[in-house]
Amino acid sequence: MCGIIGYVGKNNALNVIIDGLERLEYRGYDSAGIAYLNSDGLLDIKKEKGKIKNLKETLDFDIKSSLGIGHTRWATHGEPNFVNSHPHKVGKITIVHNGIIENYMELKQELLKSGYSFKSNTDTEVACALLDKIYNETNSIEHTISIFRKKARGAYALGIIVDDDYNHLYAVKKDSPLIIALGDKENYIASDVPAILKYTNKYITIEDDEFAKISSDKVLVYDNNADLKKFEVKTFAGNSNDVMKNGYDHYMLKEIYEQPEVIKKTTLPIIEKDLDSLVNNMPDFSKYKKIDIVACGSAYHAGLVGKNLIEEYANVPVNVDIASEYRYKKLFIDKDTLVIVVSQSGETADTLAALNIAKTHGCDVMGIINVVESSIARKSDIVMYTKAGAEIAVATTKAYSCQIALLSLIALNIAYKNKEIDKSKALEVLKSIRCLPTNMQSVLNEFDEYKKIANKIYNNDKIFYIGRDIDYALSMEGSLKLKEISYINSQCYAAGELKHGTISLIDEGTPVIALVTNEKMAEKTISNIKEVKARGAYVILVTTDNINTDGDYYDEKIVVPCTNKFVQPILTVIPLQMLSYEIARLRGCDIDKPKNLAKSVTVE
């Protein structure tokens, strides 16, 4: 979603900020802007609708600017246009803002009465006016921020410049990510690590009740009473290579190819010494009678795979919910329920809200999270990290497979400890996890074959996915991947459900991608495939090498190696990801930055 970068230091703020904004492009945005100190020592603000290149064209990069804040905006309050874009300036205060000030209408009324007027429809301009009003009353920016926090409700990360002091930036946050990164005679604020990784990997996180005052050579962190606090300087483990395309045409393709490596990183430390590690390197799940898995989008789909495995092998009931529904529905949870929130970014607003609600019911919350130090990671009682590394493409691939890998390990851990499966079966699963990277590589090596299939179907305006049992959960992810990046209207159905209505949508030549990887269900699913084939569907069968597929009910066949059910989805999803990628490429879509989407959805 929106991105923030701020800079104060010896180099040219314009270069650093524009470069940072470009690195944040993947988050999704529809306008961009910058406020910077010009060569006359005054603050200039430039903003443009559309891509960052439009903004760049308005800037003179030859000037020397020592301080500035920049923003990419993904419109929430008010359409994407010049007035609504950030930065906003009211009186002496200039800000960039991520998140939403929930009570901005109420605050706006008060500010109107105090004589403020507003040009935009945004909550940000209201926040800016509120800061200006308090600053005029207190003449202290530290006290202004403390009072602001008491008055403003909602989630926000703010980068602030005050006209009386162009040597400092201010950073304040609540439930929205913001880091302060440290350089040599230069410091930064950023909503996301990739924005600054080219310059430094040293950073500070500020808590929700803290704020920071940043100059080129000093960072001060204050608590909510404006008293100084000590802070810890952290080192980000990655480097800027982690956020480069490294020769691939798109981040999405690079990230698909990274999967064998990140699966290794995510799983091997947990099972390094076989079953002893599986038991000792994971949390104790034995005290929970039931599990709720809560997430959004692909992470929700990973949760559905997890439910299938935990229920089937560990014999523990699992409820999976979409976070935006969970947060408002009646919940049947208590201290005997483990709530697992799954999130790549660790910032998804609905998932964060679901976590908070689960806590009010006295539940333990476990996060399966990719971004270290993210809000959800910090608020979870227990965290298991997916080690997928920075995921830049908006459509998740490698983080999704790592989420499944951790959920599988949870299923195996509980099943083994509860004696639902015996030692030899558990060891067999561990073996299949160790073989996964090699097997994944062999599936990735078939990309040319998937390309040929993509070439035959990319011009269709609808594509269906069907499957049963765990293949149904996986089909949902395949269908989401396709629609989000190719804009093809794709639907996914449990294979047995088609004849209850949806089959009427199958026309001559309609592509149906049918998953059959579960031997037990194969015969049933194949009958369903024959039903669509009889109605003219162009069937692409995705199956495993152990299943007898004799018959003339499909047009194309993708075969992946058969492995254990615990890890089969991680192999089977690869051709689905690659088909989606290639179809979107053939259709000329902006694969890494699909329209209307954002990488991290920090609004409700």
Residues at the interface with ligand F6R (CB under 6 A)? 296-299, 343-345, 348, 351, 395-396, 480, 484, 600-601
Residue 331 CB, shortest distance to ligand F6R, in Å, is 20
Annotated catalytic residue within 46, 47, 417, 599: 599
Residue 477 makes CB contacts below 8 A (sequence gap 6+) with 298, 301, 302, 400, 573, 576
Residue 291 CB, shortest distance to ligand F6R, in Å, is 18
Indicate the residue among 54 and 489 with the shorter CB distance to ligand F6R.
Answer: 489
- Reduce the DSSP state of residue 156 to 3 states and report it: strand
Closest CA relative to residue 107, chosen from 170, 149, 157: 149
Residue 27 CB, shortest distance to ligand F6R, in Å, is 11
- Reduce the DSSP state of residue 458 to 3 states and report it: coil
CA distance linking residue 17 with residue 553, whole number of Å:
56
Query: 379: which 2 tokens?
Result: 């608020």
Residue 43 φ/ψ region, left for φ over 0, alpha for ψ in the -120 to 50 degree band, beta for the rest: beta
Residue 299 CB, shortest distance to ligand F6R, in Å, is 4
Position with the least CB separation from ligand F6R: 297
The per-residue b/e assignment along 371-394, b for 16 or more CB within 10 angstroms, e otherwise, is bbebbbbebbeebbbbbbbbbbbb
Residue 365 CB, shortest distance to ligand F6R, in Å, is 14
Query: 578: which 2 tokens?
Result: 């690659």
Residue 481 CB, shortest distance to ligand F6R, in Å, is 6
Indicate the residue among 69 and 294 with the shorter CB distance to ligand F6R.
Answer: 294
**CA 77, 82, 86: angle at the middle one, nearest 5?**
65
**Phi and psi at residue 559, to the nearest 5°:** -115, 125
Indicate the residue among 147 and 574 with the shorter CB distance to ligand F6R.
Answer: 574
Indicate the residue among 161 and 395 with the shorter CB distance to ligand F6R.
Answer: 395
Q: Which long-range contacts (CB under 8 A, 24 or more apart) does 240-246 make?
A: 240/197, 240/198, 242/197, 242/389, 242/390, 243/23, 243/194, 243/197, 243/390, 243/392
Query: 304: which 2 tokens?
Result: 């559905």
Indicate the residue among 280 and 356 with the shorter CB distance to ligand F6R.
Answer: 356
Residue 298 CB, shortest distance to ligand F6R, in Å, is 3
The H or E element that residue 399 is part of is helix 398-417
DSSP for 3-50 reads EEEEEEESS-HHHHHHHHHHHTGGG--SEEEEEEE-TTS-EEEEEEES
Indicate the residue among 331 and 395 with the shorter CB distance to ligand F6R.
Answer: 395
Indicate the residue among 333 and 377 with the shorter CB distance to ligand F6R.
Answer: 377
599 a catalytic residue = yes
Q: Which residues are catalytic?
A: 2, 599
